[in-house]
Amino acid sequence: MAQLTADATCSCRSALARDSQRSASPIARKRAPTVVALFLWFIAGTAAAESLTQRIDAHLAAPRFAAASWGISVVAVDDGHPVYGHDDGKLMLPASTAKLFTAAVAMDRLGPDYRTHTDVLAAGDIRRGRLRGALVLRGRGDPTLAGDAWADQLAQQVVAAGITRVDDGVVGDDTAFAGPPIGSGWEASDLQAYYGATASGLSVDENTMVAEVAENAVTLAPTDAATTLAEQPAESPAFYRAPGTSTLHVLGAAPRKSRLSLPDPALTAARRLQAALEKRGVTVKKEARSVHWPIPAPTGTQLATLPSPPLTEILASGLKRSQNMYLQSVFLLTGMEATDQTAAHTEDRAAAVVGAWLSARGIGPSATSLEEGTGLSRHDLTTAGSLTHLLSSVDSPAFRALLPVAGVDGTLAHRMKGTAAEGNLEAKTGSMSYVNALAGYVTTKAGQRLAFAIILNNYKPTQGAGSVSSEVDAIAVMLAASAECL
């Protein structure tokens, strides 16, 4: 992968610096040729820059984009001077490039080593190993709990604390984030899909499940998913779960497999901890259950705790895969930890934190407005210029390492292969209906480091046209392939 070092500069710029030094020489006979050289360099550089501009402009002017909207900003990272702009101050839907704002604010406010934790509390008296009450599994927004290992670790600590019997079952406490679980502006049609899985105080398996129909049987994975199956005959096979319900309607018997959102992650997590406890010989009376905002959080004495991975690991996994639940969790954690905000709902506190942080860096509410942390909301708005302003201000090896690399990994693993962008361009993708975006960093063939944002809104490709992402990628490749001094 190309090394995007902070001191990388355009070779043309270095040449200009050398010529400027020579022009300061007291030897008069060298001054005139140097001035001529500078003039020719300026003309050549200007023509080259115009050449890139013309290529991008020609792409945007294609008839298929007549009804679409483009917002593009390209700036030099070394000094911030503009390289190219097209409606770079126009508000547009950013899709998942909005995650860049969430990540930047969290890295600054929470810190790269920040960890949250998941705890187990005893809500009652303990006598001779018997807990006369419930065992509370309290989540604090860790989005990474998955499989059985986390439950085994907590169960082991509970057993080590001397618990042999729980009278009132395991309670999954999902109250850490105050407010509705659905992100502001998320569409109802997204909520059943895996990418619409809501962030919750207590999460498990990325708050998703897999439903499969095979050989006239329906199965769910994980098997402890808090979901009721309802099979119904139908000509058109489908899975359907109404928002806010736990019943999955399986329409038709045709074989199929889908990854869907999990209706009650806290209950699934409570069941998993109960199974881990019973595996270790703990008797658990009553069925597992869950509590959610606005029910008050259960209280008790802490028996066990499990720290989350550091924030940088969560962000890297979330940004490279564009994992909505991860970034919404980080957004909510930022709000949960914001003692300087007073809004009743955690999401509102987080939005206030992001807005204040951006305003302090010259990105005001008229240029960027975010209500949630993923870009899935159609209430989120930003400009291409705001994105490059952000990227320039947070540029560092640590931040760039969080992003997908063209042709290498994440959501860019199969894009721009065999081009100058492969292994070079580091950027966040964004995609939803009628929206496609790409924002990040690239080094040109001339060695110039650029921050860029390319946003395409209101575009529906005609039959036979290339993929929407390829239209955006074409501009990014132009930047990577440029041998000009911009």
What is the rounded distance in angstroms from the CA atom of residue 486 to the CA atom of residue 482? Answer: 9
Are 324 and 447 found together in one domain?
yes
What is the rounded distance in angstroms from the CA atom of residue 387 to the CA atom of residue 392? Answer: 9
What is the rounded distance in angstroms from the CA atom of residue 357 to the CA atom of residue 319? Answer: 20
Are 328 and 398 found together in one domain?
yes
Residue 49 belongs to domain spanning:
11-112+313-481
Contact 256, 209 (CB under 8 A): no
Contact 348, 412 (CB under 8 A): no
What are the catalytic residues?
A: 96, 99, 322
What tokens appear for 469 in the block?
A: 């992402």
Contact 374, 96 (CB under 8 A): yes
Are 255 and 302 found together in one domain?
yes
Are 470 and 335 found together in one domain?
yes
What is the rounded distance in angstroms from the CA atom of residue 407 to the CA atom of residue 1? Answer: 10
| Three-state SS at 248 | strand
pLDDT reported for residue 463? 83
In terms of Cβ atoms closer than 10 Å to its own Cβ (0-12, 13-18, 19+), residue 28 is exposed
Contact 203, 142 (CB under 8 A): yes
Cα end-to-end distance, the chain, whole Å: 23
Going by C-beta distance under 8 Å and a sequence separation of 6 or more, which residues neighbour residue 237?
A: 213, 251, 252, 253, 254, 256
Kindly state the average pLDDT of the residues 119-143: 98
Tell me whether strands 208-214 and 130-138 are parallel, antiparallel or unpaired: unpaired
pLDDT class of 33 with cuts at 50, 70, 90:
very low
Listing DSSP states for 345-388 in one string gives SHHHHHHHHHHHHHHTTT--TTTEE-SSSSS-STT-EE-HHHHH
pLDDT at 45 over 50: no
| Three-state SS at 119 | strand
| Three-state SS at 30 | helix
Domain count, the chain: 2
Kindly state the average pLDDT of the residues 302-326: 98
What is the rounded distance in angstroms from the CA atom of residue 452 to the CA atom of residue 182? Answer: 31
* 181-238 confidence digits (pLDDT tens): 999 999 999 999 999 999 999 999 999 999 999 988 999 999 999 999 999 999 999 9
The domain boundary residue, chosen from 281, 308, 335: 308
What tokens appear for 449 in the block?
A: 């480091």
Q: Is residue 5 part of a domain?
A: no
Kindly state the average pLDDT of the residues 325-339: 98
Are 168 and 283 found together in one domain?
yes
Are 184 and 237 found together in one domain?
yes
What tokens appear for 57 in the block?
A: 């402009």
The domain boundary residue, chosen from 256, 277, 308: 308
Are 45 and 168 found together in one domain?
no
What is the rounded distance in angstroms from the CA atom of residue 297 to the CA atom of residue 438? Answer: 41
- CATH number, domain with residue 460: 3.40.710.10
Are 277 and 327 found together in one domain?
no
What is the rounded distance in angstroms from the CA atom of residue 318 to the CA atom of residue 327? Answer: 6
What tokens appear for 203 in the block?
A: 């999460």
Give the containing element (helix H, strand E) for 29.
helix 28-60
What mean pLDDT value characterizes the chain? Answer: 91
Kindly state the average pLDDT of the residues 464-481: 96
pTM: 0.90
* 68-125 confidence digits (pLDDT tens): 999 999 999 999 999 999 999 999 999 999 999 999 999 999 999 999 999 999 999 9
Are 341 and 417 found together in one domain?
yes
Contact 357, 108 (CB under 8 A): yes
pLDDT class of 462 with cuts at 50, 70, 90:
confident
Listing DSSP states for 426-449 in one string gives EEEEEEETTEEEEEEEEE-TTS-E
| Three-state SS at 387 | helix
C-alpha neighbours within 13 Å on the C-beta side of residue 140: 15
- CATH number, domain with residue 185: 3.50.80.20
pLDDT class of 11 with cuts at 50, 70, 90:
low
Are 284 and 138 found together in one domain?
yes
Q: Is residue 486 part of a domain?
A: no
Are 173 and 247 found together in one domain?
yes
